Amino acid sequence: MGLCRPDKGPGRTARPFDAKDTIFVTQFSDLGLAPDLLTGLETAGYTTPSPIQARVIPAALDGRDIMGIAQTGTGKTAAFALPILDRLMGLPRRAGPAACRALILAPTRELVTQIAESIRKYAGSRRLSVTVIVGGVKYGPQIRMLSRGSDIIVATPGRLLDHMSSGTCRLDETEMFVLDEADHMLDLGFVKPIRRIVAALPSARQSMFFSATMAGPIKGLADSMLDRPHFAEVTPQATTVERIDQQVILIEGTRKRDALESLLRAEPVDSALVFVRTKRGADRLAERLTRAGFEAVAIHGDKKQSHRDQALRRFKAGKALLLVATDIAARGIDISSVTHVFNYDLPQVADAYVHRIGRTARAGRDGVAVTFCDDSERDLLRAVEKLIRRKLPMEDMRLETTRKAARSGKSPRGQANGARGNGARGNGQTRSQTRSQHRKGGPRTDADTRRDTRRDTGRDGDRVARSDQSGRADQAARSGQDRAATRNRHTDRNGQASHNGQASHTGQARRTRADGRDHADTQRRDDGQRRPAGRKGGRGGKPARHDPRHDHGPQATGGDAKPRRDRSGHGKPHRTKSSEAAHRPSRQDRDRGGKGAGGDQAGGGRDRRAA
């Protein structure tokens, strides 16, 4: 519900609002703003309002709710900040502890910081408390500022909800509410947080809603927040600024970085923004451009707030030529010196293109926007052209082999369609689309091969390990059989065979199994396998009780060396040489399968079965 505008103070003249006459406003002094505000605007160099300011400010001064549709860089911040300052200066009072008189929500930390700086600049010499509430910083300083009460809070939704939940911020005294960049809020999934915040606001308030586009969900959110709003639209929806020279370069993803470096050397670039699709891609591209001789800094959501602020300060001061960013920086970065915008990767959402290139050609200046597009991103490019309702000029810099492959519908050998070196998938496709393409026999990149390798060694690692373990056990068993057969032939030649054929056959079979298992267990210990000797069953089985009759001598331990323990701490205990000799059977006893020392190991069938 809109509030009535308060009575004017001394020296201020009330001026009724008529939507028809806003298009003839040529000076800020014609809008009926407070004298202190006019002085601050004049000091800052602002004399003529922009179209969105001329249409919004008079209605907002009369206390009406506002629905504003305008492109970035058209002066939306002043359109809602000046009416808020006018009201606060006209009715000065201090908000209670943890409360505020005006609340402004914005989607990103950078935009919040920028709005707060603009408000302080417009206020001039008037001391108004402006509190910034964003994530990525400590709670303590924010809690202390909120406890004193604030004239204006500028916040991101997530951190504001944290303070509301903990009781360090309350909105029951809020008189004015602004939702800026509403379309971006919806893109970031802030719909539910916004509704929770709006539900905590008083019903008797003035609300202003600003967006660059007016899609169905945005209109539904606005209808739930606004009461008979004044509608102000200064440009058609989703159109780009005419002063921006837009160009598309068709090129392979693997050659995008070389093309970008060539353009930076060929064109006079004072300051440029480079947009990529992923956070990792931003870091890698900034690092490689810096190594190539172009001072570049990166900014994205995973960086600490202090690092993001430092990168922005360097870029604004001209110490860095390039700011490599994800779409988080596409909104609210108001740097008038930006002459070029490079879309290294096309955005997944067509609306983001409008906001990206809107970072240049600000404050009446001209700008250049260059978009690199490989064949896999052509659908994204068509979506952009459909949104802005114009065909973008295109230059084909692809290799001849790529052009022929594109005409035939095949991918040239050795050339991936995706961008390499920027950390992205690089093909403008989702994972499911890429997997579907592979099932159909489409091209595979090195990144796909590495991903499949990680999957096989990760998810199927246990299966591979078990297969290798089984293979080694089988090989050890065959080796034990060969050794047993050799010993059997040797004893037969010397007339030392077992008492009868049945006993010889039984002893040989059991010697074969025992030697094979012991050799396999020793091999596992030597290979560092997790499954120790002495366990029974498969993976995770319980350790079997130790039987000294099953201990072997030089065959298992390699001479007089002590038997090893495996990494899990299991296995056979160490023994001294004297005790080991007592259990060590002679070669003749083992071959005979008798009842000598260790004889049960080779041929004591009944005793072994009982054990």
First-residue to last-residue Cα distance in the chain: 89
CA–CA distance, 583 with 596 (Å, rounded to integer): 10
- Per-residue b or e along 135-168, where b marks 16 or more CB atoms closer than 10 Å to that residue's CB: bebeeeebeebbeebbbbbbbbbebbbebbeeeb
- Rama region for 27: left / alpha / beta (φ>0; ψ in -120 to 50; rest): beta
d(C-alpha 217, C-alpha 235), whole Å? 20
Residue in the structure block whose two tokens are 């860089």: 73
Q: How far apart are CA 437 and CA 433, in angstroms?
A: 6
- pTM for this structure? 0.55
| 277 in Cβ contact with 333 (< 8 Å) | no
Cα three-residue angle 598-601-604, rounded to 5 degrees: 100
- C-beta of residue 31 within 8 angstroms of C-beta of residue 25: yes
Query: What pLDDT sits at residue 42?
Result: 84
CA distance 429 to 377: 8
Mean pLDDT per 10-residue run, the chain (611 residues)?
38 38 64 86 83 92 92 83 93 91 93 92 87 93 95 96 96 96 85 94 95 81 91 68 87 95 92 93 94 93 86 91 83 78 92 84 82 94 90 93 80 45 44 48 50 48 48 59 59 46 48 51 49 46 52 47 49 50 56 47 42 36
Specify whether the CB–CB gap between 81 and 244 falls below 8 A: no
Whole-angstrom Cα Rg for the chain: 38
Check: CB of residue 370 under 8 Å from CB of residue 345.
no
pLDDT of residue 171: 96
Amino acid identity for residue 448 in this structure = D
**Residue environment code for 451-482, b if the CB has 16+ CB neighbours within 10 A, otherwise e:** eeeeeeeeeeeeeeeeeebeebbeebbeebbe
> What is the pLDDT, as a whole number, of residue 337?
84
What CA–CA distance (Å, rounded) separates 487 from 456? 43
pLDDT, tens digit, 9 for 90 and up, residues 430-481: 444 444 444 444 444 555 545 554 544 444 444 444 545 555 556 655 666 6
Place of tokens 């997790």: 530
Exposure string (b/e) for 36-69, b if CB count within 10 Å is 16 or more? bbbebbeeeebeebbbbbbbbbbbbbbbbbbbbb
Q: What pLDDT was estimated at residue 204?
A: 93
Contact, 248 vs 381, CB < 8 A?
Answer: yes
Over residues 13-22, the pLDDT tens digits come to 333 334 433 4
Domains belonging to the chain, first-starting first, are: 19-233 (3.40.50.300), 244-440 (3.40.50.300)
**pLDDT value, residue 398:** 93
Instruction: Report the pLDDT value the prediction gives residue 585, as an integer from 0 to 100.
Output: 58
Question: Among 96, 70, 262, which residue's Cα sits nearest to residue 181?
Answer: 70
Backbone angles phi, psi at 492, to 5 degrees: -65, -40
Beta strands of 331-427 (E only): which ranges?
Answer: 340-343, 367-373, 394-396
Q: Which residues pair with 155 in a beta bridge?
A: 105, 133
Round to whole Å and give the CA distance between 243 and 361.
6
Half-sphere exposure of 398 (CA within 13 A, CB side): 25
